[in-house]
Structure 1
Amino acid sequence: MIRPYPHNYKIPSQMTFMLWLFTILSVSFGTISAHAVNGKLVADLSENTVSIESDFHGTELLLFGAVDGMQGDDIIIVVRGPDAHIAQRRKSKVAGIWINVETNIWTKTPSFYQILATRDLAKIANEATLQDLGVGATNLALQITPEKDPQETGLAMPTVNGMVGELVANMRALGLWGATTDTIALKEGALFRSVIDLPSNVHSGQYEVRIIHLRDGVPLSEDTTSIAIRKGGLSATIYNMAHEFSFFYGLFAVIFAIASGWLAAAAFRKK
């Protein structure tokens, strides 16, 4: 299990020196990433694997790298988790009772989406450039479909533009989506580092980390790395059993429930 960095964690000067030294050597010999474009941008993570166990309360990963840049250049880091189906419900008061009157399903939607940047995205590049890069919640090619046919319910067909604001607000409240600026330390347009914060409720799966280098709003280079988040310990055993041996897992759950009920009834009968 990865030991999480506290939010006020300050990297020791010796460790910082070693990271920068490793980055500089990697730029020279091209050892960090095979995805770098002509050696202009290279980046890596302090850890590429996270194990989720029963006592997992989130963790922070250090991302560091080097870029063939200039003073005033910008860096955008986009962390995207595996896609998921997300239900979005709307409640209404009917006969004095609040009930769900509409349910829409977001498909091909990232379960985790965080953006880190040297400054506000609107100051880094225009909307057309961000759209071409696919950066930002409105540029993810999201899809939404109603759970029930609108002809049966009499409700209007949902649209992405009309519903994406609520989706972003809900996911941000869960700590799974967000965008923060001034979170990347870029030294003299060459060395940079940032911290990726993974909350306790992240889904397991493969996470893509994109690092984009821009100058005066124009993308110059890009690198990609990944984070593998996996369940570990007893929770992993139960999860794997439920998916790989679903019949036996279900049978065991039924037998366990019956046995628990019988033991509880026997205990109360004796009293």
Structure 2
Amino acid sequence: MQALPPPPPAITAPAPDRSEATTGELRVAAALTDAQVRVDSSFTGASIVLYGAVFNPTDEPADVVVVVRGPDAPIRLVKKTRTSGVWLNSRPVLFEGAPGFYMTASTRPLSDIADFGQLRRLGVGVDHLRIDAPEESRTVTRYGVRDVVVSRLGDDYLDWRRAVIRLKEAAALYDTDSRGVEFVDRGLFRAEVELPTVAPTGKYYAEVWLFQNGEPQSVSNLTLTVEKVGLERDIYEFAHRRPWLYGVLCVVLAALTGYGASRIFSRRS
């Protein structure tokens, strides 16, 4: 009977360099359950889960802050003013770069995580939200209406800025949740991003900040796309590529609809 050869020696695979390197590194990693949201006629909003892990080799606790910012778009405001006993609209004010969507979620209130200066420098929180405006004020005419572009409104600037935030919050487009980030296990966290029905389409950018002792230690950047699909997308693209033709077709369609309705009701009467 022939003897079997001895088994080969066991080979121990070395640990990956990446795993070894993260054991002593304080950082955060995050991802989205869905990085693309499709908007059609039946869209009623979306709820996306942002999840991640905190690698913390120290005994010091760390906080997580999630910031999601939607595409910037101009926003036009007017103020009701009383003149000679009559309420009239003031001259319009145009902010050129207000985010269409903005939310923050954190493990604790932001004021407990970092000081005012740190939050302002990073632009974290609606109180520190950067709303772009040109350096020099100018007046432009659009569709026969004179708009004032915000730049040097003096003390009134803060009032106009607060009005932008108030209107966006009323439409559920701006939100602050001081307990929106929840640790589900040691080092593992989750947060929900709620998109309302009126959420603008385009690229959304998410920042996941890791704070320790009031200082930012790490950040993870994510991208979310909200886009129209189906017939809604075709109409949207047609309206932006050929606005004049789109306007003419809308007028013709409205006229035909009105004419058809009048004919139907005239026959019934």
Q: TM-score range by the shorter chain?
A: 0.7 to 0.9
Q: Shift in Å at residue 213 of structure 1? A: 0.3
Report the Cα distance in structure 2 between the residues aligned to 1:217 and 1:50, rounded to whole angstroms: 34
User: Which residue of 1 is the match for residue 234 of structure 2?
Assistant: 237
CA deviation map 1:225-247 (0-9, x unaligned): 01100112322221122123434
CA deviation map 1:239-267 (0-9, x unaligned): 12212343443343233234334434444
* Identity percentage of aligned residues: 28
User: Which residue of 2 is the match for residue 46 of structure 1?
Assistant: 33
User: Which residue of 2 is the match for residue 195 of structure 1?
Assistant: 192
Report the Cα distance in structure 1 between the residues aligned to 2:138 and 2:172, rounded to whole angstroms: 25
User: Which residue of 1 is the match for residue 204 of structure 2?
Assistant: 207
1:234/1:39 Cα in 2 relative to 1: closer, same or farther (>3 Å)?
A: farther
SS state at 2:117 partner: helix
SS state at 1:166 partner: helix
Q: Shift in Å at residue 52 of structure 1? A: 1.3
Report the Cα distance in structure 1 between the residues aligned to 2:248 and 2:231, rounded to whole angstroms: 19
SS state at 1:86 partner: strand
Q: Shift in Å at residue 95 of structure 1? A: 4.7
Q: Structure 1 residue runs of 4+, over 6 Å off? A: none
1:209/1:101 Cα in 2 relative to 1: closer, same or farther (>3 Å)?
A: same
- 1:173 is aligned to 2:170: yes
Residues 97-176 of structure 1 correspond to what in structure 2 (within 5 A)? 97-143=86-132, 159-176=156-173
Q: Could you tell me the TM-score, scaled by structure 1's length?
A: 0.75
1:146/1:93 Cα in 2 relative to 1: closer, same or farther (>3 Å)?
A: farther
Q: Shift in Å at residue 167 of structure 1? A: 2.1
Q: Shift in Å at residue 161 of structure 1? A: 2.9
Q: Shift in Å at residue 160 of structure 1? A: 3.3
User: Which residue of 2 is the match for residue 216 of structure 1?
Assistant: 213
Moved more, 196-205 or 230-239: 230-239
Report the Cα distance in structure 1 between the residues aligned to 2:129 and 2:51, rounded to whole angstroms: 26
Moved more, 197-206 or 184-193: 184-193
Q: Shift in Å at residue 105 of structure 1? A: 1.3
Aligned positions, number: 234
- 1:63 is aligned to 2:60: no
SS state at 1:75 partner: strand
> What is the CA RMSD across the aligned residues, in angstroms?
2.9
- 1:184 is aligned to 2:181: yes
Q: Could you tell me the TM-score, scaled by structure 2's length?
A: 0.76
User: Which residue of 1 is the match for residue 11 of structure 2?
Assistant: none
Residues 224-263 of structure 1 correspond to what in structure 2 (within 5 A)? 224-263=221-260
Does the 8 A contact of 1:75 with 1:213 survive in 2? Answer: yes
Residues 5-16 of structure 1 correspond to what in structure 2 (within 5 A)? none
Moved more, 236-245 or 117-126: 236-245
- 1:81 is aligned to 2:70: yes
Q: Shift in Å at residue 149 of structure 1? A: 8.1
SS state at 2:79 partner: strand
Moved more, 87-96 or 118-127: 87-96
Report the Cα distance in structure 1 between the residues aligned to 2:212 and 2:238, rounded to whole angstroms: 50
1:265/1:48 Cα in 2 relative to 1: closer, same or farther (>3 Å)?
A: same
Does the 8 A contact of 2:92 with 2:147 survive in 1? Answer: no
Q: Structure 2 stretches of 5 or more lacking a match?
A: 1-17, 140-145
Amino acid at match of 2:114: A
Does the 8 A contact of 2:62 with 2:212 survive in 1? Answer: yes
SS state at 2:90 partner: strand
The structure in which a higher percent of residues are helix is 1
Q: Shift in Å at residue 57 of structure 1? A: 1.3
The structure whose Rg is larger is: 2
Does the 8 A contact of 1:48 with 1:226 survive in 2? Answer: yes
Report the Cα distance in structure 2 between the residues aligned to 1:237 and 1:57, rounded to whole angstroms: 20
